[in-house]
């Protein structure tokens, strides 16, 4: 049986964790801080739980330079997929509340029927949610929006498959995007597509608009590069890639959005034009509820949060004043090594996404029969079998696309990437 140091794991999620975090978490699971109790047994209402939560928020704010006067941080459950629903329900509700308040301002108090009719017309004629579909996860997010509020209100701003022979792997030029000119309830993007190996190289210029509420799913590149938080209305990410273990989701949100909550009775009265399910979130998906209760409206899994807190604190300790930029340097170095190795042997390896949008986190490639040829699944099986013998695990591509995927998350050490690069060279020869 191999020990931990003999295995190089490249799974796409759940993903590797730093060994010191695993070891400290294991102690806490049995006997936390010499209390005689497992951290999994300690109340989420306790001072211990509140300190862990405060420590997590403080470390994250340090790493990303989050302006906490204007942004809140909280933790939820249901993963990134849960946020597909929550983002729509909260922000469509916020859009409606803005229109309701403006109608009252224009028409005056006590004109409930007139206000309702005006907002109904505005919903029918103006409500849109924009989706940049650049991979499998953003596609799922757009499909969830359609399920919740109906296709009429969902604007697929760009579908990357249409300019890439029906497959994901490129992000079309921004000139081709068909954004709602102004006033959309949200503009969604998946910053890094885990399945397809596509990552936005930077924040899109066309979204540089103070009025546009950008919602970014950063589940698989969270804490891997410096970002300007102020450009986003909401950033969310499931924990199980770069942050911790499955079971919690982090949300960074502009505080001004939290107060835009319409009365439920008003939303019920709008059901003839927009489904209530699309603008009235379940209480556990209500951003304002979770924020008001400091992530503790219900029983937050504190052990899962503790693991994330340790990861965050280790990043703070490791990179100090460099903050997340320090981790970005490491991520870039690891990705460069793998891509240069693959490109050097391009007669055998074909990197799936276009060079302009290659993910630093999920390196997706095929083994081909000849340069530029069709994938050779027999060779891919041979490569994966050889990799496993060498302790290189978790390299099989997503079942929907096949091939090989090396997930280069933060906790994957450079030496493990070097081992994989060595096997790529050995197999090519």
Cβ-Cβ contacts under 8 Å for 302 (sequence gap 6 or more):
39, 40, 42, 44, 48, 49, 52
pLDDT value, residue 372: 62
pLDDT value, residue 210: 84
pLDDT value, residue 416: 98
Cβ-Cβ contacts under 8 Å for 265 (sequence gap 6 or more):
none
Among 260, 392, 417, 263, residue whose Cα is nearest residue 333: 417
Average pLDDT, the chain: 97
Distance between CA atoms of residues 14 and 246, nearest Å: 7
Q: How many CA atoms lie within 13 A of 218 on its CB side?
A: 22
Taking the domains of the chain in order of start, what are their residue ranges? Answer: 55-304, 323-428
pLDDT tens track for 176-222:
999 999 899 999 999 999 999 999 999 999 999 889 999 999 999 99
pLDDT value, residue 209: 87
Give the pair of three-digit tokens for residue 151.
């296709």
- What is the maximal distance between C-alpha atoms in the chain? 79
pLDDT value, residue 393: 98
Radius of gyration of the chain (CA): 23
403 Rama sector, left if φ>0, alpha if ψ -120 to 50, beta otherwise: left
pLDDT tens track for 133-189:
999 999 999 999 999 999 999 999 999 999 999 999 999 999 999 999 989 999 999
Q: Which residue numbers in the chain have pLDDT < 50?
A: none
Distance between CA atoms of residues 279 and 414, nearest Å: 45
Fold of 55-304: 3.40.640
Cβ-Cβ contacts under 8 Å for 289 (sequence gap 6 or more):
283, 297
pLDDT value, residue 131: 98
Residue 425, beta-bridge partner list: none
pLDDT value, residue 370: 72
Distance between CA atoms of residues 207 and 131, nearest Å: 12
pLDDT value, residue 371: 63
**218-241 b/e (C-beta count within 10 Å ≥ 16 → b):** bbbbbbbbebeeebbbbbbbbbbb
- CATH of the structural domain 323-428, one choice from 3.90.1150.10, 3.30.420.40, 1.10.3720.10, 3.40.630.30: 3.90.1150.10
Cβ-Cβ contacts under 8 Å for 9 (sequence gap 6 or more):
15, 16, 393, 394, 412, 416
- C-beta neighbour count of 46 within 10 angstroms: 11
């Amino acid at each position: 049986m191999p020990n931990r140091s003999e295995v190089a794991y490249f799974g796409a999620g759940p993903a590797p964790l730093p060994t010191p975090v695993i070891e400290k978490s294991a102690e806490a699971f049995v006997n936390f801080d010499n209390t005689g109790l497992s951290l999994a047994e300690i109340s989420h209402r306790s001072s211990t739980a509140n300190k862990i939560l405060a420590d997590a928020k403080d470390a994250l704010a340090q790493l990303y330079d989050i302006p906490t006067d204007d942004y809140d941080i909280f933790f939820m459950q249901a993963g990134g997929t849960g946020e597909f629903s929550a983002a729509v329900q909260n922000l469509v509700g916020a859009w409606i509340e803005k229109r309701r308040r403006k109608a009252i301002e224009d028409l005056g108090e006590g004109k409930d029927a007139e206000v309702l009719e005006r907002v109904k017309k505005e919903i029918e004629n103006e409500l849109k949610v924009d989706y940049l579909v650049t991979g499998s996860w953003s596609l799922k997010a757009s499909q969830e929006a359609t399920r919740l509020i109906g296709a009429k209100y969902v604007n697929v701003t760009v579908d990357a498959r249409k300019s890439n022979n029906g497959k994901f792997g490129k992000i079309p030029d921004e000139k081709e995007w068909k954004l709602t000119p102004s006033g959309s309830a949200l503009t969604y993007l998946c910053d890094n597509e885990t399945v397809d190996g596509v990552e936005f190289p930077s924040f899109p210029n066309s979204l540089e608009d103070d009025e546009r509420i950008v919602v970014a799913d950063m589940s698989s590149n969270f804490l891997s590069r410096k970002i300007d938080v102020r450009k986003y209305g909401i950033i969310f990410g499931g924990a199980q890639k770069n942050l911790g273990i499955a079971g919690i989701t982090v949300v960074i949100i502009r505080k001004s959005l939290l107060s835009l909550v319409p009365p439920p009775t008003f939303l019920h009265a709008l059901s003839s034009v927009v489904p209530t399910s699309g603008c009235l979130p379940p209480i556990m998906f209500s951003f304002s509820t979770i924020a008001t209760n400091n992530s503790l409206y219900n029983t937050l899994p504190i052990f899962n949060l503790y693991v994330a807190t340790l990861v965050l604190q280790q990043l703070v300790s490791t990179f100090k004043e460099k903050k997340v930029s320090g981790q970005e340097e490491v991520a870039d170095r690891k990705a460069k090594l793998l891509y240069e190795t693959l490109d050097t042997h391009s007669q055998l390896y074909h990197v799936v996404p276009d060079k302009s949008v290659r993910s630093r986190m999920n390196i997706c490639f095929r083994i081909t029969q000849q340069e530029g040829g069709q994938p050779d699944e027999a060779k891919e099986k041979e490569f994966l079998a050889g990799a496993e013998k060498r302790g290189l695990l978790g390299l099989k591509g997503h079942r929907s696309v096949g091939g090989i995927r090396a997930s280069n998350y933060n906790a994957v050490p450079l030496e493990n990437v070097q081992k994989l690069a060595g096997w790529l060279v050995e197999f090519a020869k």
